[in-house]
Structure formats: structure tokens, C-alpha cells
Amino acid sequence: MHIERLKQELEELKQEKTDLEILLETNNEHLDVVELELHREISDRLKAEVALQEVNRRLQNLSCVDSLTQIANRRQFDQAIAQEWWRMAREKQPLTLIFCDVDYFKTYNDHYGHQAGDHCLKQVAQIISATLERPGDLVARYGGEEFAVILPNTEAEGAIKVAQKIQMQLRNSQLVHAGSVISDYVTMSLGIASTIPTSDSEPVALMAKADKALYQPKTKDAIALFLQTLPTNLTP
């Protein structure tokens, strides 16, 4: 009887062992499925985060780029000039600003239409952008037909050379302007202002100075000289 009981217990133990092996194998398979699902979920989440970062980057670019000319917009200009102001103040280096305004642009629009006017602004933006060679320089559409160029680490003399280059490239492009009273082609007025920023001042004074230089009255003699040689309204 004792032997029979031991045999029975042995069979029961074998069955328990078999049951445990089956359970363990089933659990392992279940764990593999769970692990695979977790990997997939993590991968999908990472892809979603990358996609979200790309969308945010695009939105950030859109918020800082002028939709027409594809250069920096006024918001980006305001951020950039504030950044450069404090950086130049810290480094005690000059910061120069050039305002550029397309002459008689209203009559251009009236004569050729707004679609042609938009195309003209795109070309002007490309011309200005092409003259800037340093990574830190920035051209922005300031508003309407007006553009702004920020030149860090640049004194007025250097800015005048940049302005002359802009005018030369614009003159060489020969964008016809039948509505202008000073030329047969598109021209621009430019105003230059330069200063060494300080920590207790603001860039608004520099902007006001460049704006004043931009809109200084031009005499007929000055306009003639402007067309023949260099723009006389470049006032450091």
C-alpha cells in the first residue's frame, strides 16, 4: 500500500510539473506578446513626438517668415534686433541698421497691378538677401514695401558698402517702373543708423534714427546724383 501511494504521489507530482511547464510556457508567450506591444507603443509614441516636433518647427518658421517674400517678418525682426542689441552691448561692438523703401511703390501697384507688385517685392527681397554674406546679418520685411537689414559688428562705413551693393544689384536687375518720377526702373531709398548699444538703452532709438535718415527730403540734384553714382540719401 505504501508503494502504491508513493507511485500515486509521484504521478501527481509529474502532472503538477507538466501543468507548471505548460503554464510557464503560456506565460512566456503572453509576456512576449506584451513586450512586443510595448515596443510598438513606444515606437509609435516616439514617431508621434518626432512628428509633433517637426510640426512645431514648421509653425515656428511660419510665425517668423513673411509669407510673400519668404524672408524674416516683422516679428522675427523685432526679436533679432533685441537679441543683437543686448549681444552688442555685452561685447561693446557696433550695431547698424539699414531701412530700405521701394520708391513710388503705390504708383507701381496702380500701373501694373497688385500681383505684379507682389512679384516686385519678392525680387527686391531676393536682391537684398543676396548681398548679405555673413550668417549673423538679417534682412526682414519691415512692412509693406519697406525692408530692414540688421548688421551686427558693423560700423556705418561698412553698412554704406552694403547699401551701395544693394543699390547696384537693384540697378542691374532693371525692374521696369513706368510710374516712377525719378527713374525708368525700380529704385529704393535707404537710411542708415549705427551705434554701440548700451545695457541701459533700447533699439528703438536706432530704429528712429534709421527711419529719419530714410525719409530725408531728396532734391532733384541729389536724385540725379543718386541715379548716376551712389545713393545720396545714405545717411549714417
Which residues are catalytically annotated?
145
3-state secondary structure of 217: coil
Which residues sit opposite 152 in a β-bridge? Answer: 95
The span from the CA of 221 to the CA of 219, in Å, is 5
Residues facing residue 191 across a β-bridge:
99
Chain length of the chain: 236
CB 231 within 8 A of CB 164: yes
Nearest to 156 by CA among 118, 202, 193: 193
